[in-house]
Amino acid sequence: MARTASGAKHIEAARELLKKARTADELRQAQSVLLPLELGLSIEQTARAIGRSSGATCTMRTRFAKVAAGEMAAPRSKRELRNRAKANLERERQILDEVLPDAASGGVVVIPRLKPAIEAKLGKPISLSSVYRMLARHGWRKLAADTYHPQGDPDARDGWKKNSAALWTKS
């Protein structure tokens, strides 16, 4: 015989979460608490109803009880979980506004030239891929690549180009 579900003292908090749930995970968590308490379902039946395994359902119930009792902090949203971030999203937006004033009016954004300006504002070195991801996070698209290598020699580049157009013209 299965034991009865615990957590009756958190039933009001689960009802509130059920009303205010904004994500499927929040809804499932509220259901994992309410279904056994209000309908008398077992953990296996509750797991089947919410589409999770028995272990995951039990973990959801335990985590909800700990958060409701104040023993554990509520999990943060995925947008807040930017581990190793050089700056928060608002600071990134400020930096991009400062270094991209002409690009906002239709100018071309060249990333290798932009990277040192962003590094100076952050006070930390960052990789080129970080600059690309930062721009993508803030809605920048259609970025132009640099047209030449910064350490290249323009005279050597001109000498390398084919300049025999007269030989290739059609007669």
pLDDT band at 164 (very low <50, low <70, confident <90, very high): low
Neighbours of 8 (CB within 10 A): 11
Which has the closest alpha carbon to 57: 45, 68, 69, 67? 45
Higher-scoring residue by pLDDT: 4, 124: 124
The rounded mean pLDDT for the chain is 81
Write the secondary structure of 41-86 as one string of H (helix), E (strand) and C (coil).
CCHHHHHHHHCCCHHHHHHHHHHHHHHHHCCCCCCCCHHHCCCCCC
Question: Does the pLDDT value for residue 102 go beyond 90?
Answer: no
**Arithmetic mean of pLDDT, 102-124:** 80
pTM for this predicted structure: 0.47
* pLDDT tens per residue across span 28-69: 999 999 999 888 898 999 999 999 999 999 999 999 888 888
Structural domains present in the chain? 8-75 (1.10.10), 76-148 (1.10.10)
With the C-alpha atoms ordered 53, 55, 58, 63, is the resulting torsion angle positive or negative? negative
Residues 80, 88: Cα–Cα separation, whole Å? 9
Q: Residue for token digits 């509220």? A: 30
Residues 35, 14: Cα–Cα separation, whole Å? 10
